Amino acid sequence: MKKNSSLKGKSILTVKQLAPEEIRYLVDLAKQLKNKKKRGLRGNLLKRKNIALIFEKSSTRTRCAFTVAAADEGAHTDYLNMNDIHFGKKESLADSARVLGRMFDGIAFRGYRHETAEALAVHSGVPVWNGLTDIAHPTQILADLLTIQEHFGRLKGLILVYTGDGRNNVASSLMIGCVKMGMHFVNCTPSELMPDPNLLAEAEGFAAQTGGSVRIVHVPLKAVRGAHVVYTDVWASMGEEAEFEKRRKLLGPYQVTMEMMRKTGRTETGEVIFLHCLPAFHNHQTEVTRTIGAMEVTDEVFESKFSRVFDQAENRMHTIKAVMIATLT
């Protein structure tokens, strides 16, 4: 596997910090590693590497993706949750980071404040990988790009429409990731949930360099016309559960339905896919939706032939593996 020396020793905290060629390299490497795993081959590219998984926020996909990806290539992981580590309580964040950096080769962090991930990267002296913070989710976006690449055979020129909470960490990171790869990103959101204007300006600057574009559209059935990818996320992120009822009223028209998928004009040819970073509230089988039903996407769309959400979830593992290998070897 050809190496990209610009990534070695580098922390990956946002998509914005990655050059388009680095994103392309990580997506291509992930595809190679996925094929390797499909052939039943285990490797040793991370042999004797020790990885700390620091999770202030619980997770299924992110934790499992890091654990399995590391094990596949010979690394050992140690999981630390809120009960195991107390940044700023009995020990300063900087001191904790320096201790962890002496013991581990890399640190995966999933938490609330992006500043915590930045401090870990500054003080630990080892690569830090952002598994989700309040403003960014780079490992998710790499998996999204791999999933899109697998289906269409390309990224440049494709139209992705994100519908829902247009200013959350996934929407913000996805906007940057898409335009850096020359895609056309449409943020379909109400005016109350618009993306950060400074980030939007940065995205427009990147788009000007790559041939991509960014648009804000408030009318869902208009926004999705011509879309190759329709993407949504939960209407209230972790820690915002009290907002569910308010968001249901505000975002009801932005629910991904089969009518919305048909409005892309691509369902007859199969040239459109549906993505969701999960977990998804698409049926009555969760505590949240038992009485109120589906929210951001209907069960019909979620279970349809257009849905690639489980390919997308699996690809978290392959792209995270690529990130660890690229930055540690």
Tell me which of 140, 149, 255, 312 is the catalytic residue.
Answer: 140
Sequential DSSP letters for 261-306 = HHTTT-TTTT--EEEE-S----SS-STTTTTT---SB-HHHHTSTT
Task: Judge whether 140 counts as a catalytic residue.
Answer: yes
> Which candidate in 61, 63, 110, 276 is catalytic?
110
290 is catalytic: no
H/E element holding 318?
Answer: helix 309-328
- Out of 228, 308, 316, 318, which one is annotated catalytic? 316
Q: In this structure, what token pair is assigned to residue 302?
A: 């979620």
Catalytic residue among 61, 247, 277, 308: 277
Q: Is 277 an active-site residue?
A: yes
Tokens of 81: 């949750």
User: CB-hemisphere CA count at 13 Å for 160?
Assistant: 31
**218 has catalytic annotation:** no
Catalytic residue among 61, 63, 137, 228: 137
- For residues 130 and 66, the answer to whether their CB atoms sit within 8 Å is no
The candidate with the shortest Cα–Cα distance to 204, out of 226, 184, 232, is 184
Quote the radius of gyration of the chain (alpha carbons, Å): 19
Indicate if 137 belongs to the active site.
yes
CA 222/CA 254 separation, integer angstroms:
11
Integer Cα distance of 175 and 59 in angstroms: 23
Choose the catalytic residue: 233, 308, 312, 318: 233
* 316 in catalytic set: yes
Residues 142 and 322 sit within 8 Å (Cβ to Cβ)? yes
Q: Strand pairing of 229-232 and 213-217?
A: unpaired
Question: Are residues 121 and 13 in contact, defined by beta-carbon separation less than 8 angstroms?
Answer: yes
Residues annotated as catalytic are 110, 137, 140, 233, 277, 316
